[in-house]
DNA sequence: CTGAAAGCGCTTACAG
DNA sequence: CTGAAAGCGCTTACAG
């Protein structure tokens, strides 16, 4: 039956791919197909319907690479996430909720979200540089911003729309969304001072993360506003783990005039603190007041319950993508400035881990 | 000097982009540039060096879309992750470690990793279908496999190399890596039985996740092997939250002959269980023995320490990408079968949450 | 060893 | 309203 040469429509079908197959099938040019599919106005309604029907039936979707090349944009947004091994180990689900929020907004604009995980052993700048040079995405969301984050300049120079989740030292000239560390510091200090505390410690992250600086500055301002001198000796760096809190307790209580309260940047430390306090026969909320940052599963079973803050992850994601859309020119920026600078307020969730001050007499170890 | 037509190097530079700019700069054809950059053998070593130097200096990276279109592959791998709001809320950092492992292997083969988060409100099949049809990535890693997961058939039909993190009901014809739930069930049951327990409950996830079925089957087998009849009334479905454990306690103790031990699929439930037991004046490890699945931060501060298992996230990532490389033909499959079926063993971490059985007389509520 | 040319699968002015 | 054609920025047989 079959001739030795491939001939006729059937055999050819296998050869044509993508839009040209559709075109052949419908007896239309690829240009018309493209216009119909992309909702261009100058297509006969009947033609458009035929095209749409056929496309659905054949499961046709335009090839991403071809479309991106022709259009000069990929229609996708990258979210760069650090694969910090410490973060990975510490039950940090911070981003899942954010992604969901980002996605919900991007979808409406036909944009895809690609999470681009930067391996722990790789340089963040180099990783981003390569992505940008290759034009893998049209726009970027950066997280974990450093105090002076060179990635910002890279993206600016490349002319890629972007928004950061977190400020940098000089937060002008680009859009960012960040947690309202100022508000957190203010309400935590306010709460502790009103409970009678004067020696209030603070923990900040190791390394060059900008929010450590922001948090410290806000804490200092909140203290001084209430006539309490800032004491640099009361600022401690910690990691994300619970064990950081364990050792912190001795540092807090071991020195000169003991600290009576502490505000934690990484709430997981509270877990270790409770443990160590218990060993010392001391009680959180009585002998040492503790306020954590984020209410998350890992600290939710502490007794007494940890006083901390609600972080609206989904809302943060929404805010990030809306700021980004404005940068991409897909949404009119609401204000006079083209840049969004948004500090997301966190609501305090009072627990029992902070209380009125009382004289502590820790056992010297 | 300049004719009315654009002429000379300078004016043109702005116009030419990418490889042709490089070609012009060096006085070579784009073909030669391409071959030099891609390490093809038939390029003069001196030429190659010139090209490589110029590329580095100009920060040239081939445009991703153009390259993908020309080559017919994107050189990137997708990792589909569900943005389950429940998972997001429950501190699930499970994937970060896995990503890092995946990345470490893919890098060596010049492959990029794109995490493709499927929004909670979107259908997983449709989401994947679109990605595949658009040829966004060359290969896929799927997670959270359902009992009968239609995504497997989709990928098979499309001829896209893939591997799943998790089995399905019929785990033939494709590669998967999964936790060794059989080993977990066996060693948990073994441990509990040797402590004298006979009424051992099990929790499984809600919904159609395959590992629930696998876990239950393995549990049943482990029991029967020891002459203990399987009792379906002792299998409970729970979610990922700590509160699931809270209510579970009453279910376990409230019925007929009380359960003396439970094996948890989601260890966070232990948090709620400890809380509820404490309210009832009962003690984990004494009045009720508990074994959790994964050792994670959220359960690490329980006292007594929860008996559970170590999950080697990074190794899992490595295994996934190696299985995938074999599918992609980038690595010879070691065995006779082209498919990898790997159950990753988990090491037991003994804690104090399980102990010898003793008669429990819970207060009736 | 290098260049000229075709082609990857789309989109988009440009004619008609 | 539709088609023919050029072009997006690469890669890769094919000549030479």
pLDDT tens digits, A315-354 = 999 999 999 999 998 877 666 678 999 999 999 999 999 9
Q: What is the mean pLDDT of residues A221-231?
A: 96
CA distance B118 to B82: 5
Interface touch A301/B115, C-beta < 8 Å: no
For residue B85, the chain A residues in CB contact (below 8 A) are 97, 100
Interface touch A100/B87, C-beta < 8 Å: no
pLDDT value at residue B359: 52
pLDDT at B346 over 90: yes
Nucleotides of C under 7 A from a protein CB: 1-5, 7-13
A345 Cβ contact partners less than 8 Å away, ≥ 6 residues apart:
A180, A183
pLDDT at B337 over 80: no
Torsion angle defined by CA atoms of residues A214, A219, A225 and A229, in that order, rounded to the nearest 10 degrees: -120
B7 Cβ contact partners less than 8 Å away, ≥ 6 residues apart:
none
More confident residue, A159 or A297: A159
Distance B42 CA to C5 C1' (A): 19
Write down the H helix ranges in chain A. 8-13, 18-26, 30-37, 45-58, 64-71, 85-89, 94-107, 124-133, 150-158, 181-194, 210-225, 242-254, 269-279, 313-327
CA distance A167 to A176: 6
Walk across the sheet containing A261-263 and list its strands. Answer: A235-238, A200-205, A261-263, A289-294, A307-310, A347-349
Q: What is the mean pLDDT of residues A286-304?
A: 89
pLDDT value at residue B95: 86
What is the token pair recorded at B228?
């203990």
Distance A51 CA to D4 C1' (A): 20
Q: What is the mean pLDDT of residues A30-54?
A: 90
pLDDT value at residue B111: 96
CA distance B59 to B46: 20
pLDDT value at residue A67: 96
A353 touches strand C (CB under 7 A): no
More confident residue, A122 or B22: A122
More confident residue, A363 or B141: B141
Q: Place A5 in a pLDDT band, splitting at 50, 70 and 90.
A: very low
What are B75-112's pLDDT values in tens digits? 999 999 988 766 654 445 678 889 999 999 999 999 99
Q: Is A354 exposed, middle or buried (0-12, 13-18, 19+ CB in 10 A)?
A: buried
Range with the poorest average pLDDT among A86-100, A313-327, B225-239 = A86-100
Name the residue among A241, A271, A298 with its Cβ closest to that of B91. A298
Q: Are A82 and A118 in contact (CB under 8 A)?
A: yes
pLDDT value at residue B201: 96
Residues 21-50 of B with CB under 7 A from strand D: 30-31, 33-35, 37-38, 40
B67 touches strand D (CB under 7 A): yes
Q: What is the mean pLDDT of residues A211-237?
A: 95
Distance from CA of B286 to the nearest CA of A (A): 20
Count, residues in chain A: 365
B76 touches strand D (CB under 7 A): no
Q: Is B308 helix (H, G, I), strand (E, B) or coil?
A: strand
Name the residue among B65, B90, B271 with its Cβ closest to that of A69. B65
CA distance B106 to A116: 13
Name the residue among A62, A93, A136 with its Cβ closest to that of B91. A93
Q: Which residue of A has its CA nearest to B299?
A: A298
Name the residue among B97, B117, B298 with its Cβ closest to that of A103. B117
A37 touches strand C (CB under 7 A): yes
Q: Place A4 in a pLDDT band, splitting at 50, 70 and 90.
A: very low
What are A158-197's pLDDT values in tens digits? 999 999 999 999 878 999 999 999 999 999 999 999 999 9
What is the token pair recorded at A13?
């079908």
Our separate counts of H helices and E strands in chain B read 15, 12
For residue A274, the chain B residues in CB contact (below 8 A) are 301
DSSP codes of every residue in A103-137: HHHHHTTT-EEEEEEE-TTS-HHHHHHHHHHTT--
Q: What is the mean pLDDT of residues A282-308?
A: 91
Range with the poorest average pLDDT among A86-90, A208-212, A236-240 = A86-90
A170 touches strand D (CB under 7 A): no
B64 touches strand D (CB under 7 A): no
B10 touches strand C (CB under 7 A): no
Interface touch A65/B296, C-beta < 8 Å: no
Nucleotides of D under 7 A from a protein CB: 1-5, 7-13
Cis peptide before B304 (omega within 30 of 0): yes
pLDDT value at residue B86: 60
Q: What is the mean pLDDT of residues B252-272?
A: 90
CA distance B277 to B284: 7
Q: Which residue is nearest to nucleotide D2 (CA to C1')?
A: A32
Q: Is A358 helix (H, G, I), strand (E, B) or coil?
A: coil
Q: Which residue of A has its CA nearest to B74?
A: A65
pLDDT at B342 over 50: yes
CA distance B341 to B178: 8
Beta pairing partners, A201: A262
Residues 41-100 of A with CB under 7 A from strand D: 41-47, 66, 69-70, 72
B225 Cβ contact partners less than 8 Å away, ≥ 6 residues apart:
none
What are B27-63's pLDDT values in tens digits? 888 999 999 999 998 888 888 999 999 999 988 999 9
Name the residue among A64, A121, A302 with its Cβ closest to that of B136. A64
What are A93-102's pLDDT values in tens digits? 678 889 999 9
CA distance B251 to B244: 11
A322 Cβ contact partners less than 8 Å away, ≥ 6 residues apart:
A105, A331, A340
Q: Which residue of B has its CA nearest to A63?
A: B134
Q: Which residue of B has its CA nearest to A71?
A: B65
DSSP codes of every residue in A304-354: SPPEEEE--HHHHHHHHHHHHHHHTTSS--SSSSSS-EEEE--EEE--SS-
B300 touches strand D (CB under 7 A): no
Mutate to test the interface with A, among B268, B297, B305 (most CBs of A within 10 A): B297
More confident residue, B85 or B161: B161
Q: What is the mean pLDDT of residues B173-188?
A: 96
pLDDT value at residue B239: 86
pLDDT value at residue A234: 95
pLDDT value at residue A126: 95
CA distance B183 to B335: 23
pLDDT value at residue A241: 80
B47 touches strand C (CB under 7 A): yes
pLDDT at A262 over 80: yes
A66 touches strand C (CB under 7 A): yes
Distance B61 CA to C10 C1' (A): 22
Distance from CA of B218 to the nearest CA of A (A): 28
Interface touch B96/A104, C-beta < 8 Å: no
Counting one residue from chain A and one from chain B, the pairs whose CB atoms sit within 8 A come to 169
């Amino acid at each position: 039956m079959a001739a030795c040469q491939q001939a006729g429509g059937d055999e050819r079908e296998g050869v044509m791919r993508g839009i040209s197959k559709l075109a052949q099938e419908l007896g239309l040019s690829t240009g018309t197909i493209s216009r119909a599919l992309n909702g261009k106005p100058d297509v006969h309604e009947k033609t458009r319907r035929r095209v749409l029907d056929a496309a659905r039936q054949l499961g046709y979707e335009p090839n991403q690479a071809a479309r991106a090349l022709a259009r000069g944009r990929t229609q996708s947004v990258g979210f760069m996430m650090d694969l910090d091994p410490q973060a990975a180990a510490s039950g940090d689900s911070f981003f899942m909720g954010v992604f969901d929020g980002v996605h919900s907004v991007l979808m409406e604009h036909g944009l895809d979200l690609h999470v681009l995980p930067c391996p722990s052993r790789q340089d963040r700048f180099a990783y981003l540089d390569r992505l940008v040079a290759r034009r893998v995405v049209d726009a970027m969301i950066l997280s974990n911003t450093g105090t002076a984050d060179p990635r910002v300049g890279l993206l600016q120079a490349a002319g890629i729309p972007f928004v950061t989740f977190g400020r940098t030292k000089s937060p002008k000239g680009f859009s960012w969304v960040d947690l309202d560390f100022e508000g957190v510091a203010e309400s935590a200090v306010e709460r502790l001072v009103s409970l009678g505390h004067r020696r209030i410690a603070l923990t900040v992250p190791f390394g060059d993360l900008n929010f450590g600086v922001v948090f410290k500055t806000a804490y200092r301002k909140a203290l001084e506003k209430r006539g309490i001198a800032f004491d640099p000796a009361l600022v401690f760096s910690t990691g994300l783990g619970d064990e950081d809190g364990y050792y912190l307790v001795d540092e807090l209580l071991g020195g000169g005039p003991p600290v009576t309260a502490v505000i934690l940047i990484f709430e997981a430390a509270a877990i270790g603190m409770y443990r160590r306090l218990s060993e010392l026969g001391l009680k959180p909320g009585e002998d040492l007041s503790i306020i954590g940052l984020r209410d998350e599963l890992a600290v939710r079973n502490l007794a007494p319950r940890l006083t901390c803050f609600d972080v609206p992850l989904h809302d943060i994601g929404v805010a990030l993508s809306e700021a980004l859309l404005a940068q991409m020119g897909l949404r009119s920026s609401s204000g006079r400035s083209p840049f969004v600078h948004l500090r997301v307020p966190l609501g305090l969730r009072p627990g029992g881990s902070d209380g009125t001050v009382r004289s502590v007499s820790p056992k010297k170890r």
